[in-house]
Each structure stands twice: as structure tokens, then as C-alpha cells.
């Protein structure tokens, strides 16, 4: 994350300092005097994803889609009722892809909000029928769906990445860079 942030401002990686909000969301220490630069990160076995932007409300999540079992129980905890109907109608082999695409976008959204899983994810409903997914909220979540842009990416065979960013109306674009860790030891 430090190396990535240093691509965007003239600060050496070791000089970045971070604070965290009460839900543990890290942010750049305001005492560094950096404005207009925000980030979020997610990691799982085999992939780290960092998102950097000028928008404060950005979030990212990565999951492996080959994670074992328990999807039926998890689906009842994570998916909104209309999503659960779509999930149960799918052939077994298509369910993991559907589940993790929804899960990563929901987690990206709650991370963008900076509140983590204290937000009830079943109250978030996604429509992924078109290439640009859309979001809606049940009453407990006080938010405006049209603020959000969502991306669901497949950077490797094993991984699904969800990205959420809130816009103040300006157009947004996503630049994707992939790096490979080189173990120098
Ligand atoms: C944030 C959260 C969803 C992360 O889920 P995860 O799938 O286990 O982890 P990910 O790899 O996707 O993300 C981890 C990274 O997200 C960031 N992060 C941590 N808390 C965050 C939050 N609330 N919002 C946004 N980003 C957060 C950190 O950079 C973290 O990196 P680290 O593990 O190296 O410190 C989960 O840990 C959570 O809900 N935390 C909130 C806990 C909370 O609300 N605590 C207060 C209790 S009242």
C-alpha cells in the first residue's frame, strides 16, 4: 500500500503514516498535509488489491471463488431476499461465482462507507444483470443508490474483486495495474 501511494505523491513509502477510524478503517494521517488521496485494501490467499482515488468513499474486496462449502448457510446471511431467489434457482456449479460476486461488492460498499460489517449486508441488494452493477438499499441503510459506481473484476482464475466508489456526480474511470511480488530473500 505504501509503495502504491508513493506513485501518487512525492513521499517515500516508509514516510506514510496512517490512522484508523472507530471501525478500524485506515486513512492517511492528516498531519502529512496530503489532500485528495484516499485508499482501501483487501487481501486473500494469492492476491492483494489496493484501490487509490481522489474520492474518500472507495472500497475494495477480494475473495477466492474456490473457497469451500457452507455457501447455502452464508447465502442466507449475506444475500437480500431477491438475490437469494436468484441464487437458489442457479445450477449448483454457478452458485459460487454468483455468491462471491455479490459478497465482494457488498463488502466493498461497506468498506467504502468505512463501517465494516456493522452495516447489515442483507439490506443491500445488487442487480448484476448488466455489465455495470447497480445497488439499492432497504430502509435501515440511509444512502442514495445513484451515488454509487460498482465494478466486479476477475483478475485471475481464482479471484473475484469488488470495487465500490461514491461519486458526487462527476464521471469516474478505473485504471487497473497488476504487480507481481518479487521475493528478494
Ligand atoms: C473491514 C472488514 C469488512 C474486512 O474484512 P476482511 O474480508 O476480513 O478483510 P479484507 O482483506 O477485505 O480487508 C482488510 C483491510 O481492510 C481495511 N479495513 C479494516 N477495517 C476497515 C473498515 N471498517 N472499513 C474499510 N476498510 C477497513 C484494512 O486496511 C485491512 O487491512 P489489514 O487487515 O491489513 O489491516 C471487517 O474486518 C470488518 O467488518 N471490520 C469492521 C470491524 C468493526 O466494525 N469493528 C468495530 C466494532 S464496533
pLDDT tens digits for range 77-88: 999 999 999 999
Question: Any residues with Cβ below 6 Å from ligand 1, and which?
Answer: 23-26, 40-43, 61, 107, 111, 114-118
Calpha distance 49→178 (Å, rounded) = 9
The answer to whether the pTM exceeds 0.95 is no
52-66 pLDDT per residue, tens: 999 999 999 999 988
43 in helix, strand or coil?
strand
Query: Given ligand 1 and candidates 23, 40, 103, 165, which is best to mutate, with the most ligand atoms within 8 Å of its CB?
Result: 23
Q: Whole-angstrom Cα distance, residue 104 to residue 185?
A: 33
CATH 3.90.470.20 fits 2-166, yes or no: yes
The three cell numbers of residue 176 are 487497473
How many whole angstroms separate alpha carbon 164 and alpha carbon 105? 7
**What pairs with residue 44 in β-bridges?**
47
Amino acid at each position: 500500500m505504501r509503495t502504491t501511494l508513493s506513485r501518487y505523491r512525492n513521499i517515500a513509502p516508509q514516510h506514510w503514516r496512517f490512522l484508523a477510524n472507530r471501525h478500524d478503517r485506515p486513512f492517511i494521517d492528516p498531519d502529512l498535509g496530503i489532500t485528495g488521496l484516499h485508499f482501501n485494501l483487501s487481501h486473500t490467499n494469492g492476491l492483494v488489491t489496493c484501490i487509490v482515488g481522489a474520492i474518500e468513499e472507495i472500497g475494495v474486496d477480494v475473495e477466492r471463488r474456490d473457497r469451500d462449502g457452507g455457501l447455502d448457510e452464508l447465502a442466507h446471511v449475506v444475500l437480500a431476499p431477491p438475490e437469494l431467489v436468484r441464487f437458489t434457482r442457479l445450477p449448483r456449479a454457478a452458485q459460487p461465482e454468483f455468491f462471491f460476486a455479490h459478497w465482494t461488492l457488498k463488502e466493498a460498499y461497506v468498506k467504502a462507507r468505512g463501517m465494516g460489517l456493522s452495516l447489515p449486508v442483507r439490506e443491500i441488494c445488487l442487480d448484476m444483470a448488466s455489465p455495470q452493477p447497480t445497488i439499492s438499499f432497504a430502509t435501515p441503510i440511509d444512502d442514495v443508490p445513484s451515488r454509487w459506481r460498482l465494478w466486479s473484476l476477475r483478475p485471475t482464475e481464482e479471484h473475484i474483486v469488488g470495487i465500490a466508489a461514491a461519486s458526487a456526480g462527476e464521471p469516474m474511470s478505473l485504471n487497473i495495474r497488476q504487480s507481481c511480488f518479487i521475493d528478494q530473500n
